[in-house]
Amino acid sequence: MATNITRFIENVEDASNIISYVDMKQRQSGVFSFILPLRTKQYDLRNNIKTILNSDIKSDLSDIIVEEDALSLNVFREDYIKQFLESNCHKIVPQKLVNNSKNIIVEFSSPNIAKPFHLGHLRSTIIGNYVANINSYLGNNVKRINYLGDWGTQYGFIQIGIDMSNLDSTKMQNDAIRNLYNAYVLANKSMENDSTIADKAREIFRQLETGESIACQEWELFRKLNCWPSENGEGGWDVNIEYELEQDDLELNDVNINIPLPIGCTPIVSSCDGQYTHETRKNILVWSLPLVDASTKSGSMEFSAPSSTSADFFPLHVSFASKTSYAKIKITEVILVEDESPVKHSIETVFFTDNYEVV
């Protein structure tokens, strides 16, 4: 960027000393400005504004601002670093250190998904990525994998632990991750005194793989514990909310998900599928989706809420309307009781929520 600024200045007539007038200031965090006076005793650039704005120097800058007596050439630090690396990485040609390329498999952290992630997973992932990048640079064929070890049996242990703990859906929504983990630990400890638990865990997974209804329903219940508050370390919480339509033939209209907030809390929404509204009088954040169907069957919203606790975001209230029946019940005909003669009729199907809460 500095080279382009210098090149431009050198091409301006009678402006050999202009570079000495450039002053760099940091206007705000991550934004740097090169301030150039438009007129001094040595030069006058006021007639060169169009040339400046049309020059290739703009490719290196976030914006150019023409002020009353100066030119501000602004650059965002992160954008410039990204642009610089992307524009130069193709010029790097690795030395030929291996005669024949090899097939390399790099396995990363291979987490047990029934347990929380920890620093060891991050460490091995960083090392694995480092090794993979080096081998790619040398011309080897690299495959990166993250093996989810024995996940089926682990799910079986979780299900057994939940049954042993008498956890229902309401209890699990309250600190779901901790409850699922505690259920897993309970089943593992119990296996020390009951050798049949491992066989039961494998049987539960077999039922899930073969699509047996009860096992699949229980799996869906765990998978859809989908409001995840997490402490952000700044006295507040980051919240991720997701939805997924289970029946592709349903069409839900005017879906509203009302998320309660602490009094006086102003949420900061970082991403949202659909629209959102902060209703300050009701202390709620309304996530609105005009249509949820097979083409929009999943979505999410993320926001942070200062000065809050995890319990502040429950219960969620959900409302929608649909012209599709959930139970797929249809009226085929209407007849009189007396003589079973047909009766002219019309059918209107309306499916809506009376009281739908996620607690």
Share above pLDDT 90 across residues of the chain, in percent, rounded to a whole number: 9
Q: Given a cut of 90, is residue 6 above it in pLDDT?
A: no
pLDDT in tens, 129-161: 889 988 887 888 899 988 765 566 777 888 888
Residues 71 and 40 occupy one common structural domain? yes
Residues 39 and 140 occupy one common structural domain? no
**Weakest-pLDDT range from 146-150, 192-196, 335-339, 355-359:** 146-150
Residue 128 counted as domain residue: yes
Residues 234 and 333 occupy one common structural domain? yes
Residues 172 and 110 occupy one common structural domain? no
Residue 16 counted as domain residue: yes
Q: Which of 166-180, 218-232, 343-357 reaches the highest mean pLDDT?
A: 343-357
Residues 268 and 324 occupy one common structural domain? yes
Give CA torsion, residues 184, 190, 196, 197, to 10 deg. -10
Residues 120 and 194 occupy one common structural domain? no
Q: Given a cut of 50, is residue 11 above it in pLDDT?
A: no
pLDDT at 283: 93
- Residue found under tokens 């049949």: 196
Comparing CA positions, the residue from 164, 229, 152, 234 lying closest to residue 194 is 164
Residue 346 counted as domain residue: no
Residue 122 counted as domain residue: yes
Residue 151 counted as domain residue: no
Q: DSSP of 275-299, one letter per residue? A: EEEEETTTTEEEEEEEEESGGG-EE
What's the pTM?
Answer: 0.41
Residues 245 and 309 occupy one common structural domain? yes
Q: What is the CATH number of the domain that holds 261?
A: 2.60.40.1170
Using only the alpha carbons of the chain, give its radius of gyration.
Answer: 31
Q: Given a cut of 90, is residue 110 above it in pLDDT?
A: no
pLDDT at 338: 86
pLDDT in tens, 275-333: 999 999 999 999 999 998 888 888 888 899 988 887 788 888 889 888 887 767 778 88
Residues 205 and 130 occupy one common structural domain? no
Residues 237 and 198 occupy one common structural domain? no
DSSP H/E element including 97: none
The total domain count for the chain is 4
What is the C-alpha separation between 169 and 315, in angstroms, rounded? 13
Q: What are the residues facing 244 on neighbouring strands? A: 298
pLDDT band at 40 (very low <50, low <70, confident <90, very high): confident
Residues 149, 115 contacting (CB under 8 angstroms): no
Residue 303 counted as domain residue: yes
Span 165-178, mean pLDDT?
A: 68
DSSP H/E element including 303: strand 298-305
Give CA torsion, residues 351, 357, 358, 359, to 10 deg. -160
Last residue of a domain, one of 88, 113, 130: 88
pLDDT at 146: 82
Residues 276 and 213 occupy one common structural domain? no
The two structure tokens encoding residue 214: 């009860």
pLDDT at 214: 65
Domain that holds residue 82: 1-88
DSSP helix/strand/coil, 168: coil
Last residue of a domain, one of 182, 197, 219: 219
Residue 98 counted as domain residue: no
How buried is residue 269: exposed, middle or buried, by Cβ count under 10 Å (0-12/13-18/19+)? middle
pLDDT at 173: 60
Residue 97 counted as domain residue: no
DSSP H/E element including 315: none
What is the C-alpha separation between 97 and 79, in angstroms, rounded? 34
Residues 292, 337 contacting (CB under 8 angstroms): no
Residues 275 and 194 occupy one common structural domain? no
Residues 203 and 248 occupy one common structural domain? no
